[in-house]
Amino acid sequence: MARSSLFASSLPDCECPGACGGRPEAALRLTSPYPTLAPAPGARPPVDCYTPTRVGELVHDALNRRPGVFMEQIGPLVYLRPERGGVEWAVDVRWIEAAR
């Protein structure tokens, strides 16, 4: 058995309400605590969409209705993180607005 699997198996399972399956003590998480919502049928991205350019810039995720700190953009996805730190989530760049 590999050392890393011995280490991981010695840690308790996650007991969070979301039952994410991760092992928080080892900083392992299988699912994001911030699931990205699917657009409602007929929903359209905001007209005044914004493309962030600076890492650390505060923006607003119109799809998930929450602010986020811009981390990076890969293709059409923008990766945001909560203002006070935490797990990133991804959202289509068309749903990003300038911070309010």
How far, in Å, CA of 6 to CA of 80, rounded?
Answer: 33
**Are residue 27 and residue 38 in the same domain, yes or no?**
no
**Are residue 5 and residue 45 in the same domain, yes or no?**
no
Beta partners for 69?
A: 58, 81
| CB of 69 closer than 8 Å to CB of 82 | yes
Give this prediction's pTM: 0.63
CATH of residue 62's domain is 2.30.30
**Are residue 99 and residue 56 in the same domain, yes or no?**
yes
| CB of 64 closer than 8 Å to CB of 91 | yes
Residue 77 has a pLDDT of: 92
User: pLDDT band at residue 4, thresholds of 50, 70 and 90?
Assistant: very low
Q: Does residue 1 have a pLDDT over 50?
A: no
* Selected residue with higher pLDDT from 78 and 11: 78
**Are residue 57 and residue 17 in the same domain, yes or no?**
no
User: pLDDT band at residue 2, thresholds of 50, 70 and 90?
Assistant: very low
**Are residue 23 and residue 52 in the same domain, yes or no?**
no
Question: Left (φ > 0), alpha (ψ -120 to 50) or beta: where does 97 sit?
Answer: beta
| Domain range enclosing 4 | 1-31
pLDDT digits (tens, 9 = 90+) for 10-67: 656 656 655 555 555 555 555 565 666 778 888 888 898 899 999 999 999 999 899 9
Number of domains into which the chain is organized: 2
